[in-house]
């Protein structure tokens, strides 16, 4: 098959790496890709082709697809999904994996998701949705100022302010609704009660009727060790996350996915793609903080290094509505991904720093350096974004996978590189 992958991050490198292993893949194109994706090869030796078309440029992506006629297009990031790329490609007879625009609202609008959860009895935080700052502040007061103030729309994975007291909550409401801290996405806000507990990522592959739950994973969203510093896109992840036994995970999955599937059926929402609920395990049970409508990044890097199924077949089954016939198979190995970021990320950072040591790192067994913000220059690789690399290792235990990932990180150098040193440490506390 001829496959087109859309996106340029670590998640898309992991998708390309896994799709390239499938015997069904004859040709793989990535728009726009990155330096690591451009170096991938298929099992038959054919190199992956990167084309410089941005993931948000829907007309140019459609032109590309009408020229290349992929048998399958795989969408990595949220923006093209929210903009309706799936509907557009389908109207031209193209097979494309990802939720359509209506279904992508689970991520594109927090107000939509929150109302859906409340309508269908999905466990979530107490919340209110507001178009007007005074009403938002009043609701914050009813929560004692302990809130998560969330812009309704997409805000590059940021868009959430956590507050501990009323004065901070009121400032947060003003920053988001009046000051435009997250742009137009923040004209409407969802305010949730501040929940406490262990946060995990769930993923379920869906085909419009069936949702197949993955093992649990955990991201590390803050920039600095000990979950200090600013929120980022994710500084590292691991799977499995040992906070739930298998029966507990199945029960949490059921508590969320059964009412979610019933609600989708009742409302005519045809979700074919990846549902990624962010979940807080609180003392009174699991609560969904938000839904995403795509693979997490860096969760994809740890899931796709554990997945034993042929990814082409899985994604085709998700598109075709035939997932009920395809059980997921997972390696018993644990996988740990450590992100190497540019110094200063998620604030301002330098680009164009040469990266060394990729050869030695790439020679290590059961280890993969996924590229995110990288580009080729003069035969070498240099930094071009905030999250630069996702160094991933898989081993029989989390402890061994973690050691192997850090041993690989220590072979790679670029000026200003920033790495959290405590990825997966929570899993070892026992
Ligand atoms: P979100 O974009 O909704 O995932 O929010 C970003 C981060 O803020 C989450 O990963 C959580 O760590 C935190 N967060 C979001 N909502 C809540 C909440 N209701 N209570 C506590 N923390 C939250
Ligand atoms: N792991 C965070 C995200 O993908 O949004």
What is the per-residue pLDDT for 407? 98
pLDDT, tens digit, 9 for 90 and up, residues 144-162? 999 999 999 888 767 899 9
State whether the Cα torsion 289-105-346-201 is positive or negative: positive
DSSP alpha helix (H) spans, 125-276: 133-142, 166-173, 246-267
237 closest CA partner among 206, 216, 214, 213: 216
Q: Which residue CA neighbors atom 3 of ligand 2 most closely?
A: 296
- pLDDT value at 186 more than 90: no
Cβ pair 31, 316 in contact under 8 A: no
**Distant-in-sequence, close-in-space partners of 257: CB < 8 Å, separation ≥ 6:** 204, 211, 213, 275
Mean pLDDT value across the chain: 97
Cβ pair 421, 220 in contact under 8 A: no
What is the per-residue pLDDT for 126? 97
Tokens representing residue 308 in the block: 């034993």
pLDDT, tens digit, 9 for 90 and up, residues 66-99? 999 999 999 999 999 999 999 999 999 999 999 9
What is the Å distance from ligand 1's center to 159 Cα? 10
pLDDT band at 401 (very low <50, low <70, confident <90, very high): very high
Angle at Cα 411 formed by Cα 407 and Cα 412, nearest 5°?
A: 120
For ligand 2, what atom is nearest to the CA of residue 294? 4
Count CB neighbours of 322 within 10 A.
Answer: 14
What size, in residues, is the chain?
Answer: 430
Ligand 2, from 220, 238, 276: best to mutate by most atoms within 8 Å of Cβ? 276
What is the per-residue pLDDT for 324? 96
pLDDT band at 396 (very low <50, low <70, confident <90, very high): very high
What is the per-residue pLDDT for 185? 84
DSSP alpha helix (H) spans, 268-397: 299-304, 311-320, 358-362
Question: In Å, how far from its chain's centre is CA 67?
Answer: 29
What is the Å distance from ligand 1's center to 328 Cα? 29
Give Cα separations from 40 to 16, 148, 299, 315, 371 (angstroms).
8, 41, 20, 20, 11
What is the per-residue pLDDT for 155? 80
What is the per-residue pLDDT for 180? 87
Closest ligand (CA of 155): 1
- The pLDDT > 70 percentage for the chain reads 99
- pLDDT value at 269 more than 80: yes
393 closest CA partner among 376, 381, 410, 418: 410
Q: Is the CB of 33 under 6 A from ligand 2?
A: no
pLDDT band at 183 (very low <50, low <70, confident <90, very high): confident
- pLDDT value at 365 more than 90: yes
Give the whole-angstrom CA distance, residue 272 versus residue 428. Answer: 35
Average pLDDT over residues 357-386: 97
**Distant-in-sequence, close-in-space partners of 63: CB < 8 Å, separation ≥ 6:** none
What is the per-residue pLDDT for 201? 98
pLDDT band at 209 (very low <50, low <70, confident <90, very high): very high
Q: Is 226 left (phi over 0), alpha (psi -120 to 50) or beta?
A: left
For ligand 2, what atom is nearest to the CA of residue 299? 1
Cβ pair 159, 150 in contact under 8 A: yes
Per DSSP, the chain holds a count of helices (H) and strands (E) of 14, 25
Q: Which residue CA neighbors atom 4 of ligand 2 most closely?
A: 296
Average pLDDT over residues 180-199: 92
Q: Which residue spans within 173-318 are E strands per DSSP?
A: 189-193, 198-201, 204-207, 211-213, 218-219, 222-224, 228-231, 236-239, 272-282, 285-292
- pLDDT value at 279 more than 70: yes
What is the per-residue pLDDT for 161? 93
Residue 302 main-chain phi, psi, to 5 deg: -85, -35
What is the per-residue pLDDT for 430? 65
Measured from CB, residues less than 6 Å from any atom of ligand 1 are: 125, 148, 150, 160, 162, 192, 194-195, 199, 221, 231, 278, 289-290
Give Cα separations from 186 to 131, 142, 183, 191, 194 (angstroms).
9, 21, 6, 12, 19
What is the Å distance from ligand 1's center to 110 Cα? 12
């Amino acid at each position: 098959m001829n496959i087109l992958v859309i996106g340029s991050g670590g998640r898309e490198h992991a998708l390309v790496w896994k799709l390239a292993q499938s015997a069904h893949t004859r040709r793989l194109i990535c728009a726009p890709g990155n330096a690591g994706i451009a170096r991938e090869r298929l099992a038959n030796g054919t190199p992956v082709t990167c084309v410089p078309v941005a993931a948000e440029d829907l007309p140019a992506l459609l032109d590309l697809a009408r020229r290349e006629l992929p048998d399958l297009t795989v969408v990595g990031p949220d923006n093209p999904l929210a903009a309706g790329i799936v509907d557009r490609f389908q109207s031209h007879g193209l097979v494309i994996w990802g939720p359509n625009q209506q279904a992508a609202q689970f991520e594109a609008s927090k107000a939509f998701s929150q109302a859906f959860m409340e309508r269908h009895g999905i466990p979530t935080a107490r919340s209110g949705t507001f178009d007007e700052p005074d009403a938002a502040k009043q609701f914050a007061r009813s929560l004692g100022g302990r809130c998560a103030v969330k812009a309704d729309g997409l805000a590059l994975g940021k868009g959430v302010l956590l507050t501990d007291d009323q004065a901070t909550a009121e400032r947060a409401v003003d920053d988001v609704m009046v000051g435009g801290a997250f742009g137009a996405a923040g004209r409407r806000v969802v305010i949730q009660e501040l929940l406490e507990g262990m946060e995990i990522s769930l993923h379920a592959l869906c085909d419009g009727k069936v949702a197949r739950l993955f093992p649990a994973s955990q991201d590390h969203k803050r920039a600095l060790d000990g979950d200090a510093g600013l929120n980022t896109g994710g500084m590292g992840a691991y799977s499995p996350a040992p906070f739930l036994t298998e029966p507990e995970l199945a029960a949490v999955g059921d508590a969320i996915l059964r009412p979610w599937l019933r609600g989708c059926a009742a409302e005519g929402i045809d979700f074919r793609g990846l549902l990624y609920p962010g979940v807080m395990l609180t003392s009174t049970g699991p609560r969904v903080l938000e839904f995403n409508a795509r693979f997490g990044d860096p969760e994809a890097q740890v899931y796709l290094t554990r997945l034993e199924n042929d990814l082409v077949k899985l994604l085709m089954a998700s598109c075709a509505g035939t997932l009920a016939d395809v059980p997921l198979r997972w390696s018993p190995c644990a996988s740990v991904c450590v992100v190497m970021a540019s110094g200063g990320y998620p604030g301002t950072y330098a680009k164009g720093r040469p990266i060394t040591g990729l050869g030695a790192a790439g020679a290590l067994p059961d280890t993969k350096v996924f590229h995110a913000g990288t580009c080729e220059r003069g035969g070498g690789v240099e930094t071009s974004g905030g999250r630069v690399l996702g160094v991933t290792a898989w081993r029989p235990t989390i402890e061994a996978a973690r050691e192997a990932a850090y041993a690989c990180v220590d072979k790679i150098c670029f000026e200003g590189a920033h790495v959290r040193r405590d990825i997966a440490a929570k899993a070892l506390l026992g």
